[in-house]
A and B are shown apart, each in its own frame.
Chain A
Amino acid sequence: MELGRLEYLQALVTEFQVTDSPEAKEQVLANLANFAYDPKNYEYLRQLQVLDLFLDTLTEDSETLVEFAIGGLCNLCLDKTNKDYILEANGVEPIINCLSSSNEETVMSAVTTLMYLTTPQSRQQTTALPVVECMLRFSLSASRRLRNLATVFLEDYCTPLQVEEARNPSKHTAVGIPLPKD
């Protein structure tokens, strides 16, 4: 059974890599992302380098593929090994880029992934100023789900100072620089 699972996941990865059908690609990626929800699969997914597959897919043009890939990352990034791997592979940057997607699910997954990837070491990256600014905007969103998520991010993952800085963008860029006379 366990062997069967690895083989099955291998078949999915292979199909994702060789298929020319965008449809099949989406379906397979969704499968893999859903498998990434269950911690039992983490070992296999690492073995098959699915983490890289997800990270690489973040830069695809297809919105659907990006949505599924960030969903997969969101599902597996709490695991310590996976988290370290993603941070090592400079995964934070493409994840932050997902915040500007027009697809709400993509944005939601990206926010949660950033929360889950936050460690004392990665904090500077995951709560960088542009990210906090983004969260401030999301916290006013009409979508209650997004609003809630952004509020949790601001309250639990950022310092009041960070939030304050993001609220007043003019302050932090020009602190201490005297205004030109005349």
Chain B
Amino acid sequence: MELDKDNANPTILNPSDLPSRRRELAVKKREDGGTGLFDELIPAYTYLNDPFDGPVSSSDSDDDSVEDIDEQEIYDLISSISDPEHPLSLGSLAVVNLPDIHIQPPTNPLSSISTVVVEITPTITHCSLATVIGLGVRVRLEQALPPRFRVDVRVKKGTHSTDDQVNKQLGDKERVAAALENGTLMGVIRRMLATCE
């Protein structure tokens, strides 16, 4: 048993209560309110499809519609990161929460740079690993978002005894870069990111 855990008994959220995208989609897709149970009655390869009438398009009809990167997508990217202390995801520990993710659009019309602000909530106020978690979130987003996004990860105000210090560390580009050079630290972060889907 590892006795050095800061919080050995954290509260866990049920996966059904975590925000997810599928909910909205399922509802939007079917205006009749059904679950699509009967759609599968007719197999995909029915004889009524005619392969000769020009190749049946392999893609959905709404090919041209654009699905923008939104807060939920950011949440999906980082909520599956695992906590360095527990084999649990940051989402189920409520370290990252959908309402604490904000995308700020470009400040002037000429620039294409958007900023993603993520506020994390440590499970307890003296969590010594808050910086590591913040760093993990930052690394994940920098790997997964296109270059037009700037990433700003901070600890939510009032949820950590030394949140100013932690935020300073996370906001300091050079310190972040130096931390990423540290092999042990990167090892920890790689393990955290290993559960990402």
**A, B assembled together:** no
